[in-house]
Amino acid sequence: MLSPPPGALSSLISTRHEYDHLFGIYVPIAIGVFLTILLVVVGAVVIFHRRPPERAARWHENNPVEGTYALVLACVAAFLLYLTFSAEHKVDTVANQQHPSVVVFVTAAKWEWTFRYPGYGFSVRSGTVGRQPLVVPAGEPVRFMLTSDDVIHALWIPAVRYKHDAIPGSTQIVTLSFSTGVFDGHCAEFCGLRHSDMVFTVHAVRPASFAAWARSKGTAAVP
């Protein structure tokens, strides 16, 4: 087990909550920008279509209006970038300072996942080699040490709104927490002909059930 660094947070970070919150800000802004542009374009077509050709405007630029428009859009983009990087920082840096209750080494390869539990001395595999589930304790930080044996893959668990590249020769550290349930996992980076078979299932179970399953080295029935 890793020891918690000074200043580690005791509260869990829910990636689902963080990214749903971000999505809830992005969508209204995107709709607002789209509707504004649509209104201006349609309004211009309707208004100026009726104007006789001999009265067509002679000017072709309006620096104050165009400058204001560019500035507003730049401010919107800067605001969204700030929110996005703040959420990324919270999830990728702050979450990784948490004391994990279990560490899982994840190795992606064409076209399979190997989930190794070093604290318990066994592995499970999923993808084209079978369908052994990844079992984790619910409500506790789970640290994934993510790498790849061949090409770039990506660990994607839609239920927790999280996706991260698995890069050959590099170990990516990812800390996630799960509520109780069964969730689908995928490879989210096209990695060859059987990419779509590179799937797995996450079973997030009560910590006591996880401990019993792990002590059996994955031979007990999945709780």
Q: Which residues bind Cu ion (CB under 5 A)?
A: 153, 187, 191, 198
Could you tell me the smallest distance in angstroms from the CB atom of residue 97 to Cu ion?
29
CB of 151 to Cu ion, least distance (A): 7
Q: Which is nearer to Cu ion, 102 or 187 (CB)?
A: 187
Q: How far is residue 88 from each of residues 1, 21, 74, 133, measured CA to CA in Å? A: 25, 12, 21, 27
Kindly state the tokens that stand for 126: 């999923």
The half-sphere exposure of 112 on its side-chain side, counting CA atoms within 13 A, is 12
Q: How far is the CB of 86 from Cu ion (least distance, A)?
A: 29
* Residues 199, 201: Cα–Cα separation, whole Å: 7
How near is the Cβ of 110 to Cu ion at its closest, in Å?
A: 7
Q: Which residue has the tokens 């050709």?
A: 53
Q: Please state, in angstroms and rounded to a whole number, the distance separating the CA atoms of residues 13 and 25.
A: 19
Select 102 or 188, whichever has its Cβ closest to Cu ion.
188
Beta strand pairing status for 162-166 and 153-157? Answer: antiparallel
| Choice between 198 and 214, CB closer to Cu ion | 198
Residues with Cβ within 8 Å of residue 7, at least 6 apart in sequence: 97
Please, which residue, 105 or 122, has the CB nearer to Cu ion? 105
Helix (H) and strand (E) counts in the chain: 3, 11
In whole angstroms, the minimum distance from the beta carbon of 183 to Cu ion comes to 18
Residue 187 vs 204, nearer CB to Cu ion? 187
Distance from C-alpha of 174 to C-alpha of 121, rounded to nearest angstrom? 20
